[in-house]
């Protein structure tokens, strides 16, 4: 199930949770998360951001529409990167990001979506 994020307060709560988890379990992405959130807000369509929910709690998957295309953002524990997949969490990985990703690369990627 997914929860729409239509309020900046809910987005702040979600991002704070993601950053707390990354600080403890995903150090390779804890810094890049903020840049990704900024890029998402910059390029997203007017549709709400959606996040996975389980038992009423927000999970680690975010869906965003950019130029009418739906993208799933999630953390891959094996390669320790945030992956962006087309359409769903099972879709093709179109890009991965970690703390070693340059801000310029993020900007170019999102600009070309």
pLDDT value for 51: 86
Q: Report the chain (113 residues): mean pLDDT per 10 consecutive residues.
A: 78 79 72 91 94 77 94 89 92 94 96 95
Domain map (residue ranges) of the chain = 2-111
pLDDT value for 4: 77
Nearest residue to 84 (alpha-carbon basis) of 107, 61, 53:
61
Task: Reply yes or no on domain 2-111 having CATH 3.30.920.70.
Answer: yes
Nearest residue to 24 (alpha-carbon basis) of 75, 84, 65:
75
């Amino acid at each position: 199930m997914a929860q729409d994020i239509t309020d900046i307060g809910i987005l702040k709560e979600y991002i704070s949770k993601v950053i707390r988890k990354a600080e403890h379990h995903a150090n390779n992405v804890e810094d890049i998360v903020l840049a990704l959130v900024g890029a998402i807000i910059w390029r997203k369509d007017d549709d709400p951001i959606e996040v996975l929910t389980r038992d009423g709690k927000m999970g680690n998957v975010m869906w965003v529409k950019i130029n009418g295309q739906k993208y799933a953002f999630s953390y891959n524990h094996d390669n320790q990167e945030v992956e962006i997949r087309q359409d769903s969490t099972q879709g093709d990985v179109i890009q991965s990001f970690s703390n070693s990703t340059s801000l310029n690369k993020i900007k170019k990627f999102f600009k070309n979506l």
